């Protein structure tokens, strides 16, 4: 994690300020214990073959505890997306008054960089392989990306960005985040998320300019 | 239908050329009979309370026929999206050599205008209400929009548009199409789809220009 953190501190003031808040909500707890147990079991036996009760048992928790945290089995790999959406919303609300929509999206995506530490990186490639191999998990990933896009769009609209522009920025921001996450997860040695995010955000800015 | 058609013929050459091909694949058949039966039954009793067998019976077909056409019950309201994706792909492949990504997206969305005739308009508002009222149908709509966006992106990439630009154009195009469909469906009297599509496409062009 320190590598990503140092990079973020170097040139992203928003991320630096939000660091302790963001991380406090991402500490290991029942949800991440259940996620880690699920990743181990799914990797061993495949997503379909493992029950919620078995995930709970591997994590040393009850099946009832599992369903207190997650509405269904796929959700055990996606709980972090709700926290991402909250972090995006907060970063956009806190952005500079004169920032453009894409500058606000940049601040939002970079604000979540501290979350993607070496611990999360350890499981990220397994998680991506599972999502690619399971239609159920792939569908859930598509729905979660749409929810992230909507969170960005809503936060931009709350700052007065008009509907169409806010929607396109939300769609582009969520796509850039997902592309950065995918490349970060595919990296064999751990490197900070911020550099991946910056590259994809730069591509999005370039894409917007070359549409018409 | 003729109203939409006349508008399209007026100033969209691509749509005019594609008209007979597009419509031939959208003629009433088992799929649209099943869709109409499903819309009637869902409107009477709600999406959850109606079985695939009941939809088939209302359409004068067997349950086996239903499942030869659709993998599951929600899909009965979304089969047209696969034809839309094909039509988008073809229009983009046939677009002018020097067209910009957003000009190709415009040609694609306007190419489907003839499909949205008075017959389809008759059920469109009911369809939208059902989707809004059912989490299952809403999820399916989000997944179908993602598939439409991907179809546009793939078709643009096949013409040499680079990845990030093609993806943003696909996301923006699918969003514009959905917004146009929603407003068209909400219109109390039937009007041609092309005018709704043009308004949303203009908004997308404006949105792209005002992102940065």
Q: Which residue has the higher pLDDT, A170 or A30?
A: A170
* Model confidence pLDDT, tens digit, residues A118-174: 989 989 999 999 999 999 999 999 999 999 999 999 999 999 999 999 999 999 999
What confidence category does residue A212 fall into, taking pLDDT thresholds of 50, 70 and 90?
confident
DSSP-derived letter for residue A188 is S
Nearest CA in chain A to B98: A212
Host H or E run for residue B26: none
Range of weakest confidence among A48-57, A172-181, B114-123: B114-123
- In A, which residues are within 8 Å of B75 by CB distance? none
Q: Residue B1 has what pLDDT?
A: 32
Question: Are the beta carbons of B204 and B173 closer than 8 angstroms?
Answer: yes
CA angle, A182 as apex, B160 and A48 as ends, to 5°? Answer: 115
Give the Å distances, CA to CA, from A10 to A5, A119, A194, A203, B86: 9, 22, 11, 21, 47
Domains belonging to chain B, first-starting first, are 2-26+75-207 (1.10.357.10)
pLDDT at B70: 95
Give the chain B residue nearest A146 (alpha carbons): B142
Both tokens of A209, joined, read: 């300019």
Minimal Cβ distance to A143: which of B101, B142, B169:
B142
CB A102 within 8 A of CB A13: no
How crowded is residue A197: how many other Cβ atoms within 10 Å of its Cβ? 29
Q: How would residue B167 be classed by pLDDT, with cut points 50, 70 and 90?
A: very high
pLDDT tens readout for residues B194-212: 999 999 999 999 999 988 7
pLDDT classification of B22: cutoffs 50, 70, 90: low
Average pLDDT estimate for B182-187: 97
Structure tokens at A177: 């985040």
Cβ contact A164–B203 (<8 Å): yes
The answer, yes or no, to whether residue B27 has pLDDT greater than 70, is: no
Q: What is the pLDDT of residues A52-96, one digit of tens each?
A: 999 999 999 999 999 999 999 999 999 999 999 999 999 999 999
Cβ pair B211, A172 in contact under 8 A:
yes
Q: A60's torsion region: left (phi>0), alpha (psi -120 to 50) or beta?
A: left
Name the burial class of residue B44, with classes exposed (0-12), middle (13-18) and buried (19+) by CB atoms within 10 angstroms of its CB: exposed
d(CA A181, CA A193): 8
pLDDT digits (tens, 9 = 90+) for B28-70: 588 989 999 999 999 999 999 999 999 999 999 999 999 999 9
Chain A and chain B share a number of CB contacts under 8 A equal to: 89
- CA distance to partner chain B, nearest, from residue A8 (Å): 22
Q: How close A27 gets to chain B, by Cα (Å)?
A: 30
| Average pLDDT value for residue range B159-173 | 96
Q: Cα–Cα–Cα angle for A201, A204, A207, nearest 5°?
A: 155
pLDDT band (50, 70, 90) for residue B182:
very high
């Amino acid at each position: 994690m320190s590598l990503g953190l140092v990079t973020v501190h170097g040139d992203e003031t928003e991320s630096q300020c939000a660091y302790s808040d963001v991380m406090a909500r991402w500490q290991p707890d029942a949800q991440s214990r259940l996620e880690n147990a699920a990743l181990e079991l799914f990797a061993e036996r495949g997503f379909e073959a493992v029950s919620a009760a078995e995930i709970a048992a591997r994590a040393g928790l009850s099946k009832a505890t599992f369903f207190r945290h997650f509405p269904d089995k796929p959700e055990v790999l996606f709980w972090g997306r709700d926290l991402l959406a909250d972090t995006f919303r907060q970063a956009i609300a806190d952005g500079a008054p004169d920032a453009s929509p894409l500058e606000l999206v940049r601040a939002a995506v970079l604000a979540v960089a501290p979350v993607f530490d070496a611990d999360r990186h350890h499981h990220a490639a397994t998680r991506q392989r599972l999502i690619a191999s399971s239609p159920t998990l792939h569908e859930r990933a598509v729905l979660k990306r749409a929810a992230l896009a909507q969170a960005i769009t809503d936060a931009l609209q709350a700052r007065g960005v008009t509907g169409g522009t806010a929607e396109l920025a939300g769609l582009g921001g969520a796509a850039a985040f997902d592309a950065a996450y995918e490349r970060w997860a595919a990296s064999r040695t751990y490197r900070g998320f911020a550099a991946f995010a910056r590259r994809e955000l730069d591509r999005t800015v370039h894409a917007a300019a070359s549409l018409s």
